[in-house]
Amino acid sequence: MSAQQPRPRGTSGAGAVNELIEKLGVQMDPELLVLSLTHRSFAHEAGGIPTNERLEFLGDSVLGFVVTESLYRTHPDLPEGELAKMRAATVSQRALAAVARDLGLGAHILLGKGETRTGGADKDSILSDTVEAIIGAVYLSAGDGAARELVHRLVDSTLDRAADLGAGLDWKTSLQELSGELGLGAPVYRWEADGPPHARVFTSVVLVGERVLGTGKGTAKKHAEQQAAEKAYARLAEERA
């Protein structure tokens, strides 16, 4: 590891890297792994060293392709719309953050002091972005085959669950479809945010046919909207029954 390269937290720099490589089950360049763990907040405090954002960009594409191909081959009878919902559920921020937590990834991410103080190591956005960056690092370091194997190892269980989730794959889309079937028009979402920029909490309400049918809260607007849509869907489904 070069003298300029940051070290992840842990008992020792090299030990932490090797521990994470073992968890990932791949052979890869340790320096690329460390780069994949380097959040922009840490890079800024360290004088502008490279961040993991380019690797995240690459990993997002690799992840999306592998998941899409897997769904296409595994579910030959499903229409495009259902496949798209399953893909969205599998590569969502929440799903990838859960993968990161299973790996104990938060303890390895290099964060600036501010992000560390505000719990950045357990934020869905940071965890999911880091998973994508690691996938990108594996692709560059060990090739397409290793990246595919890693993606399957990380998300196959989520893919399996997605096949059984039904409406829960994407509550907003499911609510829109149901409200359309009932002749109520498209749902309308309204939201507001509270708290400082680094710790915002979003509150969303959804109106269907001019009635407020659901509310939700989350650390991201889309999470709050999904929660509100879930509650509205349940209410409309109950009324229809």
Annotated binding residues for Mg(2+), written as ranges, equal: 56, 129, 132
Helices (H) and strands (E) counted in the chain, each on its own, are: 11, 3
Structure tokens at 184: 């109520």
**Residue of 124, 132, 225, 230 marked catalytic:** 132
- Residue set of the binding site: 56, 129, 132
Active site residue 60: yes
**Residue of 60, 115, 170, 225 marked catalytic:** 60
Q: State how far the Cα of 54 lies from the Cα of 175, in Å rounded to an integer.
A: 35
Residue partners of 117: CB distance under 8 A and separation at least 6: none
Q: What is the DSSP letter of 165?
A: -
Residue listed under structure tokens 């990932």:
24
Nearest residue to 152 (alpha-carbon basis) of 88, 32, 62, 19: 62
Q: What is the DSSP letter of 46?
A: T
Q: Which residues are part of the catalytic machinery?
A: 60, 132
